[in-house]
Chains A and B, each alone.
Chain A
Amino acid sequence: MSTPEASGRATVARLMREIEDEVREQRRSRLIARGAPDDYRDEAVFAVVESVLRRAVEERDGQALLIPQLLDSDTDWELRLPLELKSHRRLTGPFILFVKRRLLLPIMHWLYEYSLENFRRQARVNRILFASLEELAIEHGKLRLRLGLEDDAEDHGSKS
């Protein structure tokens, strides 16, 4: 006999599938109306594209990405969010830092917080872009292996 929980779970699973389908179709129509690529007229193509990008946006852990690891030797690429106040001047440095911390920073704090929020957003967008690129690379890698092109990949690696 079906319990209320079991039938609720089945209903939720069915509804969530229907909602995802409905939303995907809404988006496809909206994008086509705005002049999206003709490829999106094919529902199947759109579904695959959405699924790959969605995996990148929703499922990838932003702290476990390959691209930042490859860039690790040069940390200049990364947005630095914390504000660090330093001075290289040995004698006047403490005074300059005092002025910055006690006078300028309190006055400018609103601007710092405003910028910080925007930098946070940019950092988030960067992570999502990295994740999207990686998802595409993963798909690409899998396809290459399936097509038996792995030797070709090694050739590319040895040339670089």
Chain B
Amino acid sequence: MSSPSLRLCCVVHRFGADIAGGSEGHCRAVAERLATRHDVTILTTTAKDHVSWRNEYPAGQADVGRLHVHRFPVVRQRRIREFAALSEVVFAGDASPDTQIEWFRRNGPEVPDLLAHLETHGHRYDLVLFWSFRYYQSFFGVPIVADRAVLVPTAEEDLAIRIGALKRFFSRPAGMVYLTPEEQVLVERQVDGRVPPSCIIGCGLEPPAAHDRAALAPVGVTPPYVLYLGRIDPNKGCETLVRFYMRWADRLPADGGSVALRHAIPLVMAGPPNMPIPSHPALRALGYVDAPVREALLGEASLLVVPSPYESLSMVLLEAWNHAVPALVNARCRVLEGQARRAGGALAYRNYDEFAVALDRLLRDVSVARQLGAAGRAYVDETYRWPHVMETLERFLVSLRQPVRFA
């Protein structure tokens, strides 16, 4: 695509190759690809830990590949207990406007120097892209450069999206970039006034590299297995998943079979644990796994299960489909249910009964499982390859702003 080169600024709460967060990873992947055709500056913080926002990276400017990275120090660490108490008040729905604004300040990472930079230099950029509505840099930064601000909200259906102060905030940016149609509906429902123009890009994936099944041997996993991949956390629906799976595994199938056979198909959970995992013959917790094991786990799984109630886009679901692996997802999450329906690559459950019946179907009927996996793969090929994602984004950015020419 031939389009004019732009001066772009990407504002994100954390930035670095060693940072695993979803919106941070999305920002980095998009910024690196934008930088092949545009001049891209990253404004970010010196924080690495997303809980405390402790300063860990050095402040200042440095070039990382084609990106100009400018880090600003965080002036106040987040106190989780106090923040949780404030969240209770704000999420109850009757907090004053000042208290709501205070919630965004306390959520952090508080970087007043970044805001000062936007005040002074914001006009030099053609567009300023902000990732994640819920953090300080977006909530206070967007109004400073509203005429050229593009918000990538990464909104989920959690309580934060209902904060009253967002009604006006979401009407401020020049444009919005969404990850799914469900996210667009969720955010636009909150807007009070002008609905900014928008596009839906999702996130790009490379075609899967060939995986080595032998990589599973050191971690003691052999197919068949059901896979959960990601942070093992109650907020990701893992407590419910573990409960459902143990219940399914311990129950005699209605049409015969044995409990031992069900125990022979374990739920393999790969990811850093943030909750206790019960000792049970049908559960295998691997903790953090490296890239070759991760790819092999995805490539050899009978199916992936995604129990999260809140998602703005499930990358791990797309990765499973990239490997033509079918999935079972939590239908109470509209994004997951929408992804599954559009792709034709996953079944969805609302409760234990549906979970158990759907799991049995996918494990027993190999041809159906293959068909769903193939549909998921075709959906990823059509919608989530980087060239397609970047073309959609760049066309949208160019439509928002003609470039400023400097003598």
Contact = CB atoms under 8 A, between A and B. Distances in A.
Contacts of A81: 88, 92
Interface in A14-39: 15-16, 19-20, 22-23, 26-27
Interface string B338-351: 00111111111010
Interface string A55-74: 00010000100000000000
Nearest to B372: A8
A63 B340 CA distance: 26
B20 interface: no
A87 interface: no
Interface residues of B, number: 33
A58 B350 CA distance: 9
Contacts of B377: 4
A36 B382 CA distance: 49
A103 interface: no
A83 interface: yes
A9 interface: yes
Nearest to A9: B344
Given A81-B92, A82-B89, A19 B346 contact: no
Interface string A73-115: 0000000111100000000000000000000000001000000
B64 interface: no
A158 interface: no
A118 interface: no
Given A11-B375, A12-B372, 12 more contacts: A4-B344, A5-B344, A5-B379, A7-B371, A8-B371, A8-B376, A11-B344, A16-B348, A58-B332, A80-B92, A81-B88, A83-B88
**Across chains A and B, which 5 residue pairs bring their CB atoms closest together, nearest first?**
A8-B375, A8-B344, A9-B344, A82-B88, A4-B378
Interface of A: 3-13, 15-16, 19-20, 22-23, 26-27, 58, 63, 80-83, 109, 116
